[in-house]
Structure 1
């Protein structure tokens, strides 16, 4: 199985899932439930005392203790006496959790909610704030709430029952949710930063490693989910059912980025088990979405599947951590970061999962936020350390590459680079423009070395390199292929006129070099060139022709200077 393409497939699938979540949430948000934003009036007073059930027994609206064997279609009642005095603008404010109900005063129904299940919202009425205006004429009368459950679960109740509602309700809710809001904001901030840093970090490392991208996506998804779990947004949205569905869908999006991140940063044990988890996550999302849209069931009823997948990945993570802790190539710091990050996240997520099953809590992300922040920080540090190691290795590889393909004295390509370039051109000569070669040889290098020392010989070679490279920079690539030998490879339809023009520039630059008396020995360069007659013309023949022309010119130049002719 090709790991690279498998990761791409699941990443693209994940983006599609995320897009579906946002799209469906947008559609739901347009189908409002008729609720308005909270009533802004005087400070609130509790109305959670004095309630009784049908038998006259005292009951707490926030802890209805619905028995699991009760039929969900059965209706229950609780009632309480309103105060003897009610202001004209009095409001009853509370939050319902997964309950359908009507509010009755005397014989008049004044409010109802969730009475008709919606295929768009599923069978669940979700969690929702209610703000019911109460007339002053209702003072002293009995207020009855008839309700039916959705799941027969312990967390189905009426929470935060208050009279008068208003600004104090919002202040109290924000105050209670402030730690969660800060933690959620920090997660969102870290996620955005990591996603923005991922691209430049990959460019620096010269190797695709999107650990920061996956970690950033995870932070954003968990940050949004934990933000909705503070229930502060419930106070300001008009479709709280849509917000509830959005929260549950976000939760189902968490397993895949965790697995993809671990693939990038850790040594994975039995990759197939992770791929099975990825496949199950995609399947769970698609099936639950279809069941939800068709009205067969809703996300609350399938929440146990999402929690099971999260547990599945936590188990795989434990095995993965155990393998990486035994890895001798990892430093103690890396092992400590891995163990701490996974342990903290596992404990915190496990604690919230257990508490959500044992008792009712408005906020099901209290510990997960803390664990996820520490997990992301610790593994962000781990990813940065790995990136620094990779950059160091790349620098060493680049240095080795420079030594292998670049001339140490002049900084241009060496003989190895020249030969590989010719081999590549030979295999592609049918698809490219005709190739031209210019062969060059520096005169008097031996004289400079013998009479004036190797330092002057190096100056002469550097001068020749600068002159040749400068003249042919716009036409081809210059190489030093021997002690005093250079070559220029031109793979364009320049022709002889372009080469002759570059040679004239080279001669002018040579004269300027000599006028400045930079070297004790005058710079003199012999050259020869040859152009391909057709695409089929072999490069070996072109090189041989250019060599012969260069040596012929070298003999001619030395004869003019009164030296012995060059014997090839």
Structure 2
């Protein structure tokens, strides 16, 4: 029945999706608009020249000039993306907009990567616009921005749409990373769970956050703050460590020193980059090449380990899949690096993201499947272990568990009390009322013993009608009080169920005495003797009555 409900639910979701697709094509609105929606356009006709000045950070200033056409009554916007460039915008000789790094900035000399939006009104029609861009890094020299002009909302929507594919891939990477983290945390106490999945999750989050914060759209949404520019670089600094800690578990030589050399190398690059940034010697962008070198070293190590694994285990299906995924990542990564250095960081790069995402999902799913398989084996092993060390009827520890516990090297008999119990007339109950009632008698006795001693000691069913409790670091006075409580519970039970076979529990207890006991077995035998003495008294008293 449950399977039918699941199938119907999935079919229902799919049906609703198809119905919505039908609605999208079937519904049309009739729109009347008196004023034309001007949208936006790209300004491509402008004069560009470069001015050299020694006082400038890179010794040059790039100037773009164009004339505004006739503007409509509605406000129009000039928007462009500056990449580590100081910005000054003039209408004629009047400064209307500027963007510069604050003089009090402790970190860096760059205003970062951001969108600049300058509004224009109808009275600005025909004005001469001059845009002065001053690069603060050599890599920003010669970077030509795209100038958008028109409706600010339309420009926003166009930029966000252009970034939608890499944003979606990046969000999938972050969500996949969170899924791996939650799966590992939820099953953390399970010894069969691959804890390295947590590192895979962190790697996936690092990669996703790097790409999200590196997009133009992110600068558009979180604008006017230079700190935004540091997020992608900070996301990349430690990205190698979680990847190495995850991927090394897939190889036979998982504890090879080269893995840890990569991790400590990454720490060194991070500390050096932050130190140079804090000292004002070099910004994180200028030291990014060190992180790229670190990544190149990681790729070489992984390729080397793949080769070694091939020599050890042969060209198996798992190795083929790993090699294919790594190859896809390498192609994407190399493509992005080439684009990065050729475009001086202005091009949109998502080939590597696609490769990494594929790699993350395939290896992550592979690890989860292996983990689930191990968990099934572990659950089966625990079930067998429980059967070996627990009594099947009562759920208490059995004689084997008692022998293992008292025979372990860690077990110390000092200050340890053995309490022995016997269910009187169990055989008589079985013979006269049947084994079902006999089992109920055993369960009632078990419950009373657990309620009396379960919170301070370990309870064992030694066999048949005999039970034992081990008390460690409990006084004889406390033990005596618990025995008294047990007698009260027996009496309460028999009064509550007068028509059932009466429960009678004989009890004896002794504490380990190093003067008289060779080992704890002698203590148990003395407690057993005391219990049988009480059993004899109980039976004698019942017979005389």
TM-score band (shorter)?
Answer: 0.7 to 0.9
Determine which of 489, 497, 502 is the counterpart of 2:470.
489
Q: How far apart are 1:301 and its partner, in Å?
A: 0.6
The alignment covers a number of residue pairs equal to 495
Over 3 Å counting, the alpha-carbon distance change for 1:95 and 1:49 in structure 2 is same
- Provide the aligned C-alpha RMSD in A: 4.2
Matched residue, 1:173: 159
2: distance between equivalents of 1:115 and 1:194? 40
Q: 1:442–1:524: 8 Å Cα contact kept in structure 2?
A: yes
Q: How far apart are 1:394 and its partner, in Å?
A: 1.4
Tell me the alpha carbon deviations over residues 128-160 of structure 1, each in whole angstroms, 9 at most, x when there is no partner: 222234576765565444444333337752322
Alignment of 1:260-339 (within 5 A): 260-264=245-249, 266-269=251-254, 271-322=256-307, 332=317, 334-335=318-319, 337-339=321-323
2: distance between equivalents of 1:540 and 1:266? 49
Q: 2:135–2:141: 8 Å Cα contact kept in structure 1?
A: no
Matched residue, 1:47: 43
SS in 1 for 2:510: strand
Q: 1:211–1:265: 8 Å Cα contact kept in structure 2?
A: no
Q: 1:321–1:342: 8 Å Cα contact kept in structure 2?
A: no
1:440 maps to 2:425: no
Q: How far apart are 1:99 and its partner, in Å?
A: 2.5
Q: How far apart are 1:499 and its partner, in Å?
A: 1.0
1:187 maps to 2:173: yes
Determine which of 446, 451, 459 is the counterpart of 1:469.
446
Determine which of 218, 241, 258 is the counterpart of 2:203.
218
Q: How far apart are 1:417 and its partner, in Å?
A: 1.6
TM-score, normalised via structure 1 length: 0.73
Q: 1:478–1:487: 8 Å Cα contact kept in structure 2?
A: yes
Tell me the alpha carbon deviations over residues 291-326 of structure 1, each in whole angstroms, 9 at most, x when there is no partner: 212321111110111111122222233334455567
2: distance between equivalents of 1:115 and 1:86? 32
1: distance between equivalents of 2:503 and 2:130? 107
Matched residue, 2:26: none
2: distance between equivalents of 1:501 and 1:91? 86
SS in 1 for 2:260: helix
Q: 2:192–2:378: 8 Å Cα contact kept in structure 1?
A: no
Matched residue, 1:61: none
Alignment of 1:359-508 (within 5 A): 359=343, 362-408=346-392, 410-422=394-406, 427-428=411-412, 435-440=417-422, 445=427, 462-463=439-440, 465-474=442-451, 475-476=453-454, 477-482=458-463, 485-491=466-472, 492-493=474-475, 494-503=478-487, 505-506=489-490
Q: 1:439–1:486: 8 Å Cα contact kept in structure 2?
A: yes
Over 3 Å counting, the alpha-carbon distance change for 1:351 and 1:510 in structure 2 is farther
Q: Which has the higher contact order (CA 8 A, sep 6+)?
A: 1
77-86 vs 164-173, greater mean Cα deviation = 77-86
Matched residue, 2:228: 243
Over 3 Å counting, the alpha-carbon distance change for 1:42 and 1:429 in structure 2 is farther
Matched residue, 1:11: none
2: distance between equivalents of 1:497 and 1:352? 76
Q: Which runs of 5+ in 2 are unaligned?
A: 1-36
Q: 1:495–1:531: 8 Å Cα contact kept in structure 2?
A: no
Over 3 Å counting, the alpha-carbon distance change for 1:550 and 1:459 in structure 2 is farther
2: distance between equivalents of 1:439 and 1:329? 61
Tell me the alpha carbon deviations over residues 40-72 of structure 1, each in whole angstroms, 9 at most, x when there is no partner: x963222222324369xxxxxxxxxx9xxxx96
1: distance between equivalents of 2:71 and 2:496? 102
Tell me the alpha carbon deviations over residues 171-215 of structure 1, each in whole angstroms, 9 at most, x when there is no partner: 210121111222222222223333222222223x23564333222
1: distance between equivalents of 2:274 and 2:540? 89
SS in 2 for 1:293: helix
1:549 maps to 2:516: no
Q: How far apart are 1:234 and its partner, in Å?
A: 1.8
Matched residue, 1:356: 340
Q: How far apart are 1:73 and its partner, in Å?
A: 3.3
